[in-house]
Amino acid sequence: MESFKIRLAMKNLLWIQGLSCNGNTQSILNAENPQIYELFSKINLLYHPSLSVENNVLDIVEDIYRDRLSLDFLVVEGAITNNKNFHKIGDYSIGEIIEKLKNKARYIIAIGNCAVFGNIPSLYKENKDIKGLQFKFKEKEGFLPSDFKTSSGYPVINIPGCPSHPAWFTQTIITLYYEKPLILDKFNRPKELFMYLSHDGCIRNEYFEWKYEAEEFGHKEGCLFYNLGCRGPITHAPCNKILWNRVSSKTRAGMPCIGCTEYDFPLRENYFETKKNIGIPEEVPLGVSKRAYITISGVAKTLKNERVSKKLEETD
């Protein structure tokens, strides 16, 4: 009886997985401030496929479905399918589980690009029913209807990334826990996080402005946009604002941003190469016309910046 009272007082969270590499689970284990055990001391974790000791997910799903248990947060990791040859939870497909719970959860959160956009599993051409929860790549043709909303009035709240950063998840869930409003963008991503570009806050911005390109990965100097395929200026993600492990990011370490928070992440080829047309990148920074980009680049290239043209160790 005591534990039942606690369950009633706390908000309940159920985490289920579809077609997934478990990467977002691995990511949230690295959450800091709050750490994941602190989060789950406030929120009652009903079940998580990797963290729960008891394998009683179907009992919990049935209790929620029969209104014997309330569900505040349904967190979905992985792409959705009804094909049981690909994925099963007991005798149910992940799609059947979602059907049972979709009108019971106050909030549904899709974590990671597979649950959000379908991502790599959705590339499988033989099975077209593999999707994200509310999107399949760019289209609002996910598993749930495009106008679907939970009782909170929100559509599926999308936290993309391959994987997503743990703080993007904890920040979102704490906002909802305290019933604070979330503003979402056109892909239902929280704007507070995804209105930034991965380029914002990158320590290579000075090289970007002066058009000094890195020739190789892993070096301290140079921007990775022009030759090495960096998608920082076209990718909505706060990777250089909320650092990974509070220390670094891909671009800080000399690796291009591969745009893994966007719908087209797995549709692209040659991640480490910038596609160009007569020497001009095919995709220019968001908000800038090609003409403006060519003009500004041309001017920057005619001017020499002594500082950024040297190795950092050699600067005064």
**What is the contact surface with ligand SF4 in residues (CB under 6 A)?**
198-199, 202, 204-205, 208, 223-225, 230, 232-233, 251, 257
Instruction: Compute CA distances 167 → 31, 39, 263, 316, whole Å.
Output: 6, 11, 21, 37
Minimum gap (Å) between residue 272 Cβ and ligand SF4: 12
Minimum gap (Å) between residue 198 Cβ and ligand SF4: 6
Q: Which is nearer to ligand SF4, 127 or 205 (CB)?
A: 205
Q: Which is nearer to ligand SF4, 8 or 288 (CB)?
A: 288
Would you say 121 and 99 are in contact if contact means Cβ atoms under 8 Å apart?
no
Residue number, nearest CB to ligand SF4 = 232
What sign does the CA torsion over 31, 37, 41, 45 have?
positive
Say how many residues make up the chain: 316
Minimum gap (Å) between residue 49 Cβ and ligand SF4: 34
> How deeply is 70 buried, as exposed, middle or buried, from its count of CB atoms within 10 A (0-12, 13-18, 19+)?
middle
Minimum gap (Å) between residue 114 Cβ and ligand SF4: 24
Q: Which is nearer to ligand SF4, 144 or 230 (CB)?
A: 230
Token pair 């706060």: residue: 238
Nearest to 118 by CA among 128, 129, 131: 131
Minimum gap (Å) between residue 206 Cβ and ligand SF4: 8
Q: Which is nearer to ligand SF4, 163 or 232 (CB)?
A: 232
Instruction: Compute CA distances 161 → 142, 263, 265, whole Å.
Output: 17, 10, 9
Q: Which is nearer to ligand SF4, 87 or 204 (CB)?
A: 204
